[in-house]
Amino acid sequence: MRNLRVIPDFNVIRSSLGAVEELGNLTALQELNLSLYGTSQEYKRHEGMLLSSLCKLGRCKLQSLWIYSTGKPLQFLDSWSPLPSSLQRFGMTTNYYFPEMPKWITPKLTGLGYIDINLVEITEEDLRILGEMRALLSLDLTFQGVQNGRLIIRGHVFPCLKEFHLSTSSSYVTRDTYLKFEGAMPKLEMLDVPIFCVSGKSLWV
């Protein structure tokens, strides 16, 4: 088991605490897909043990982490430390939205090339941080709102980005939202941005 490289589906909640703890000892693990489906009276203990295991894996060879859930809070991930230095891919399929960008998503992660993340609100500071990640090739942002109703991607950021996906639910749009590019994303090949009008509210590109 110590040589295991890929786990396609690990259900944290339905596993024992011991199994979640053992996850952190799989030092050769490169790809991990986590499921947070189900209920447990000990979920908080599972959450704490999962964080401990991820912190261990982040020191090793973990390259890809994808999380699936119906909407359980993932804010505990903000405490992921040290930085998962080998991480190349992070994604989430869930109804949960991070209240702010997790602290470990930083330009110091020099190999992170794919990010799929949900945020309550996108800020220009978030875009600055993401834009300085020189290995980033694909970015998928799902949001509920935009700070000040305006999103400006400034300067020479996202130098290597090839795919940019921006999405939201129309139910979260509370005012006109504008997206503007100012000399960014010179290598962009695919742009996927919603344009809609619901009850007089719209997102313009």
Is residue 67 domain-resident?
yes
Count other Cβ atoms within 10 Å, centred on residue 41: 6
Residue 171 confidence (pLDDT): 58
Give me the torsion for CA of 166, 168, 170, 172, rounded to 10°. Answer: -130
Asked if 102 and 200 sit in the same domain, the reply is yes
Range of the domain at 167: 97-205
Is residue 78 domain-resident?
no
Is residue 80 domain-resident?
no
pTM of the model: 0.90
Asked if 205 and 133 sit in the same domain, the reply is yes
Please give the sequence-ordered ranges of beta strands (E in DSSP) within the chain, or none if there are none: 6-11, 31-35, 64-68, 89-93, 114-122, 138-146, 150-154, 163-168, 177-182, 190-192, 197-198, 201-204
Is residue 89 domain-resident?
no
**Domain end point (choices 32, 53, 71):** 71
Asked if 111 and 51 sit in the same domain, the reply is no
Whole-number average pLDDT of the chain: 89
Is residue 88 domain-resident?
no
Asked if 131 and 184 sit in the same domain, the reply is yes
Tell me the pLDDT tens digit for each residue of 6-33.
Answer: 999 999 999 999 999 999 999 999 999 9
Is residue 77 domain-resident?
no
* Domain total in the chain: 2
Rounded Cα gap, residues 135 and 116, in angstroms:
15
With contact defined as beta carbons under 8 Å apart, do 201 and 174 qualify?
A: yes
Asked if 190 and 101 sit in the same domain, the reply is yes
| In the block, residue with structure tokens 């119906």 | 70
**Domain end point (choices 71, 87, 109):** 71
Is residue 82 domain-resident?
no
Asked if 194 and 104 sit in the same domain, the reply is yes
| For residues 197-201, average pLDDT | 44
Asked if 36 and 107 sit in the same domain, the reply is no
With contact defined as beta carbons under 8 Å apart, do 59 and 31 qualify?
A: no
Asked if 196 and 131 sit in the same domain, the reply is yes
Asked if 65 and 107 sit in the same domain, the reply is no
Asked if 125 and 174 sit in the same domain, the reply is yes
Asked if 107 and 197 sit in the same domain, the reply is yes
Tell me the pLDDT tens digit for each residue of 92-140.
Answer: 999 999 999 999 999 999 999 999 999 999 988 999 999 999 999 999 9
Tell me the pLDDT tens digit for each residue of 136-195.
Answer: 999 999 988 887 777 788 888 999 999 999 988 655 555 566 778 787 899 999 999 876
**Domain end point (choices 71, 86, 109):** 71
Tell me the pLDDT tens digit for each residue of 78-95.
Answer: 999 999 999 999 999 999
Give me the torsion for CA of 189, 128, 119, 201, rounded to 10°. Answer: -70
Instruction: Tell me the C-alpha to C-alpha distance, in Å, between residue 134 and each of 85, 88, 128, 187, 203.
Output: 14, 12, 12, 12, 28
Is residue 187 domain-resident?
yes
Asked if 163 and 205 sit in the same domain, the reply is yes
Give 3-state DSSP helix, strand, coil % of the chain, rounded to 5: 20, 30, 45
